[in-house]
Amino acid sequence: MKRNHIAGEWVDGATAADNINPSDTRDVVGLYARADAGQAAEAIAAAHAAQPLWAASTPQQRFDALDAVGSEILARRDELGDLLAREEGKTLAEAVGEVVRAGQIFKFFAGETLRAGGELLASTRPGLSVEITREPVGVVGIITPWNFPIAIPAWKIAPALAHGNAVVFKPAENVPASAWALAEILSRANLPAGTFNLVMGRGRDVGEALLNDARVSAVTFTGSEATGRKVAQACIGRRGPMAKFQLEMGGKNPLVVLDDADLDVAVNCAIHGAFFSTGQRCTASSRLIVTEGIHDRFVAAMVERMKTLVVGDARDARTSIGPVVDAVQLQQDTDYIDIGRREGARLAFGGDVRETVDGKPGFYLQPALFVDTHNGMRINREEIFGPVASVIRVRDAEAALATANDTEFGLSSGVCTTSLKLAAHFKRHLQAGMVMVNAPTAGVDPHVPFGGRKGSSHGPREQGRHAAEFYTTVKTTYVAP
Ligand code: NAD
């Protein structure tokens, strides 16, 4: 059994659970410990005790630790990618790509430890000077979703450690293997015992324990909007000082295709953005907003491309779309396909469940494309989080922009056009944290800010230099000679 890591020790959980391969449900990836609230409290205590030691470490010590972790992740990319594909169901190529990204993130934040600095300003008052410095926030609670089992933990753990914080990390229940592998690497990185703790377990046990404990100074959460709201309420409503919190939640990302778009580019962006990683990305292009002049050609080309997508075992080299992560998510996807039909949308392609592929029982769903939809339909307002996309036909570029922005979410957005003028107009007016011009809405770099607006995000951006906003607290010091 794979155990939790608390105060530098590997410890049994209160219970344990099997990790199941969604490409072949007969395959058990492993048995993983599950902590209860009491064990979460032990991890918090360990982190609280270790944090001052780690805060006192030199930038070189932090660099060496994070750099070593990044190097090992990159060196083991194929093995870790295989494990990730096996437990989550994204294809091997996507999984290896995600592992590489996790390694790059550790490398980036290793560099950040050496670049940390402050500002020195003259005071408005004679004889004084003002120093602005950043200090660690303290113990950071990290709660992550299942769809990026190593990259999201990496982009939270690496900056937390780089900026001198201690960590209690709770991964999603259904993908503990990648989290455990990352924790095992971190356990050998010469951090003071208790600086990094892994507590696998359920949200309502371990997650809530993190939110309610005043020794946790900051909580970084990625997951659904419904859980995000609970996290926010708990961080504010708990006894003692409120926790600083950062929420990355859902999306209903628009990809706008204008009449003058290069059709091949537009179809590539839509196929990649809507269906790769089985559509299970917060940045997925679930609304394809297409102007009249290109609409019919776009739909026809999409259907042709979708016929070539091979749904199958995530680790089979022929597969372009892996299975849905589990039975619950598959049910949600098919429920939304039924809702779309009842709302009057027409399925131009896909949407069939396959209970086996090559004799392997799994959660297989053929990517689905709805046409004849409008932006008021539930399938265009609510996050489905599967390989299901809708085409919304609009009159012109202005109607496309208005439709793109008519959503409660605001994570990513895209526009396909060959017009410099229209690209500039959309770059300026799309209401989202990220805008992609002639590129898929999903797929981002590891060294630049990531995050959204409106219902998609709350709090400072993740990744890149901007991560310091969340993982540090600013001190202003006045000095008189
Ligand atoms: P989820 O909200 O069900 O779970 C996320 C995490 O929260 C899990 O670790 C879960 O155990 C934990 N949790 C559940 N209840 C909790 C509680 N009461 N207190 C504390 N923690 C609790 O989300 P999911 O199904 O794992 O992930 C899918 C969602 O994540 C989608 O909505 C997707 O858009 C979103 N997501 C967002 C981003 C982003 O950066 N915006 C990235 C990836 C995924």
Distances from the Cα of 364 to the Cα of 41, 83, 339, 352, angstroms: 39, 19, 19, 8
Domain harbouring 329, CATH code: 3.40.309.10
One digit per residue, the tens of pLDDT, for the chain of length 481 reads 999 999 999 999 999 999 999 999 999 999 999 999 999 999 999 999 999 999 999 999 999 999 999 999 999 999 999 999 999 999 999 999 999 999 999 999 999 999 989 999 999 999 999 999 999 999 999 999 999 999 999 999 999 999 999 999 999 999 999 999 999 999 999 999 999 999 999 999 999 999 999 999 999 999 999 999 999 999 999 999 999 999 999 999 999 999 999 999 999 999 999 999 999 999 999 999 999 999 999 999 999 999 999 999 999 999 999 999 999 999 999 999 999 999 999 999 999 999 999 999 999 999 999 999 999 999 999 999 999 999 999 999 999 999 999 999 999 999 999 999 999 999 999 999 999 999 999 999 999 999 999 999 999 999 999 999 999 999 999 999 8
Structural domain boundaries enclosing 408: 253-437
> 232 in a domain, yes or no?
yes
DSSP single-letter state for residue 229: H
> 23 in a domain, yes or no?
yes
> 218 in a domain, yes or no?
yes
- Residue from 152, 401, 155, 118 nearest 258 by CA: 401
Please, are residues 144 and 16 in contact by the beta-carbon 8 Å criterion? no
Q: Is 94 among the residues known to form the active site?
A: no
Q: Rounded to an integer, what distance in angstroms lies between the CA atom of residue 261 and that of residue 369?
A: 20
Phi-psi category of residue 454: left, alpha or beta, with phi > 0 → left and psi -120 to 50 → alpha? left
pLDDT of residue 481: 86
The alpha helices in 89-224, defined as continuous H runs, are 92-115, 151-162, 176-186, 208-212
From ligand 1's centre to the CA of 114, what distance in Å? 32
> 442 in a domain, yes or no?
no
Please, are residues 311 and 364 in contact by the beta-carbon 8 Å criterion? yes
Task: For tokens 């999306």, name the residue.
Answer: 251
Pocket (CB within 6 angstroms of ligand 1): 143-148, 170, 172-173, 202-204, 207-208, 211, 222-224, 227, 230-231, 248-251, 282, 383, 385, 411, 456
From ligand 1's centre to the CA of 251, what distance in Å? 12
Q: Is 469 among the residues known to form the active site?
A: no
> 284 in a domain, yes or no?
yes
Domain harbouring 124, CATH code: 3.40.605.10
Residues 245 and 345 in one domain: no
Atom of ligand 1 nearest to the CA of 144: 9
Which pairing describes strands 346-349 and 285-291: parallel, antiparallel, or unpaired? unpaired
- Residue from 130, 215, 168 nearest 35 by CA: 168
Q: Rounded to an integer, what distance in angstroms lies between the CA atom of residue 16 and that of residue 131?
A: 50
pLDDT digits (tens, 9 = 90+) for 351-390: 999 999 999 999 999 999 999 999 999 999 999 999 999 9
Residues 148 and 208 in one domain: yes
- The structure tokens listed for 434 are 């990220």
Please, are residues 147 and 282 in contact by the beta-carbon 8 Å criterion? yes
